[in-house]
Every structure is written in C-alpha cells, then in structure tokens.
Amino acid sequence: MFSDITPDPTIHTVAKGIAQMQALRPQVVIGFGGGSAMDAAKAIVWFSQQGGLPVDTCVAIPTTSGTGSEVTSACVISDPEKGIKYPLFHEALCPDMAIIDPDAGG
C-alpha cells in the first residue's frame, strides 16, 4: 500500500510511487480517495508504464464527489520548488474502472 499522497500530489510523491511500483511490480493499482489520490495513482501508473512496467489495470474509487478524476484522461502534478502545476493529458490516464460507492465517502 502506498499512502504518502498529499493534497496536490507532487513530482516527489509520483517518484516515490514509481519506486514502489518497480519494487512490487503490481498488476493492478487502486486509487482510493479524493482527486489528489486518484491523480497520483493515474500519474504513477502512466509513468511506470512509460518506463516499461506492465501494469494491467488502474481502478479509481472516489471518496469525494465532484473532482471527476475517476473518469477523466487528465491529472495535475505539482513541483513545489518551482511553484508549477503540470497538467497531464493522455487517453491512457483514464482509469480502466471506476467504482462508485456512496458509503465510501465521509
């Protein structure tokens, strides 16, 4: 489990997630939480795949309403040192599955 997600996920968070992906080599990644958790999961999976890791499935389970990250082909990753937010757009960023559970939210 990778739970080091902060609001507005950073390039550092994504790098840590990729390192864990390389160590564990999972076939499925589940992004559980708000938009930040799902954006981080999507970026970690996408960059891992670009590096040659065969991740078969990305699942998004939102616990907040309104971000739409579970059904979009976009995410935003921040570089706090430079004060820049990088919007990423690619069809492969859209999760393969979204599970909407009204009891998962707070």
Predicted local distance difference test score (pLDDT) of residue 85: 97
Report the relative pairing of strands 84-89 and 74-79 from DSSP bridges: antiparallel
Tens of pLDDT, residues 20-53? 999 999 999 999 999 999 999 999 999 999 988 8
Give the chain's domains with CATH numbers.
Answer: 11-98 (3.40.50.1970)
Between CA 79 and CA 68 the distance in angstroms is 22
Predicted local distance difference test score (pLDDT) of residue 73: 95
Rg (Cα) of the chain, in Å, rounded? 13
Are 49 and 88 a contacting pair, CB within 8 Å? no
